[in-house]
Amino acid sequence: MRNGKSLLSLWRWWLPPAAIALILILLFIDPFIGDWDALEYTVSALRGYPSSMALGRSLFIFYNHGLYVIAHSVFNLPPQRAYLLFKYAVVAQGVLAVIACWKLTYDLTDSRYAATIAALLVTFSPVFVMYSGQVMTDVPALLLLTVALIIHLRGMRQRRVWLVLLGAALLGAGVNLRETVAFYVPWLVIAPFVCGWRINGRGLLLVALSCLVFLIFASSGFAYWFLGDPNYRAAWFGWLEATRAEAARHPISIRTVWPWLAFSVATFPLGQLTLPRTKFADGRQRQNE
């Protein structure tokens, strides 16, 4: 941190949003596994075999598989109860994600107030609360993405190349949780120069290395299974054909995008918080007039 304060010393700021998040997640936790693909994640984690969806979600599958192996060996956890272990692991990651979002915002703004507001926006997000109580990859991906950005940003500011590459590696690993993490690749390109690095050979080499590390960590798991396992390759092509058939049956168009946009606006915490504030500001302005 630029002001030298550690995260632990600022616990009075990030602990309340984290505690509220835990209460909301447990209050609205899904009594079952979760969405339909959560069932596949659970079965795949028990088998220790990647999902056929997208790039395999292998990081999510295999760390849950490791959790199950340990819990089964130590506590004799039966397979039919494994989804509870996976689900409450996501609950814990939801709380950690709120803290990580607080930390990232504080590093970017150097403001405890801005960081707390950002953490609260995540905490009260209906989508975040809902997916923090399911065996889904969204919240774990948010946590890993935020941690990757924290480390990468620190490396940029402190001119530590190993931290920059570690952040790029974690960002790439996040693709194995949720493929949309790859949308943050442009940050690897622009971040050095935003943080004051010169556009010279050293800066361009750092960008190239970061992108290479990202690519290796993002694609190596999928490449290993796709190239080395014919059964997985056949299952993946089956998933691809199913998505094509679904896209042909329900094509995406402007008409189908509008309900999604309306739902996003209706559940967006920033919009809900700014509306009362706008009315309050308008009222004060009329009083002054």
In a domain, 212, yes or no: yes
Asked if the structure places residue 247 within a domain, the reply is no
**Considering only CA atoms, which of 49, 46, 51 is closest in space to residue 78?**
46
- Judge whether 157 and 53 are in contact, CB under 8 Å: no
pLDDT tens sequence across 198-249: 888 888 899 999 999 999 999 998 999 899 889 888 888 888 888 787 777 7
The more confidently predicted of residues 261 and 136 is 136
- pLDDT mean over 259-263: 73
Grade residue 265 by pLDDT with cuts at 50, 70 and 90.
low
Q: Residue 251 domain-assigned?
A: no
The C-alpha atoms of residue 50 and residue 232 are separated, in whole angstroms, by 8
Question: pLDDT at position 44, please?
Answer: 92
Does any domain span residue 284? no
> What's the pLDDT at 267?
59
Q: What's the total number of domains in the chain?
A: 1
Tokens of 159: 């001119």
Mean pLDDT taken over the chain = 85
pLDDT at 273: 44
Eight-state DSSP code of residue 132: T
| Residue 287 within a domain | no
| 210 within some domain | yes
Is 2 domain-assigned? no
Domain extent for 75: 10-234
CA distance 286 to 289: 5
What percent of the chain is modeled with pLDDT above 90?
A: 53
Residue 268 lies in a domain: no
- pTM here is 0.83
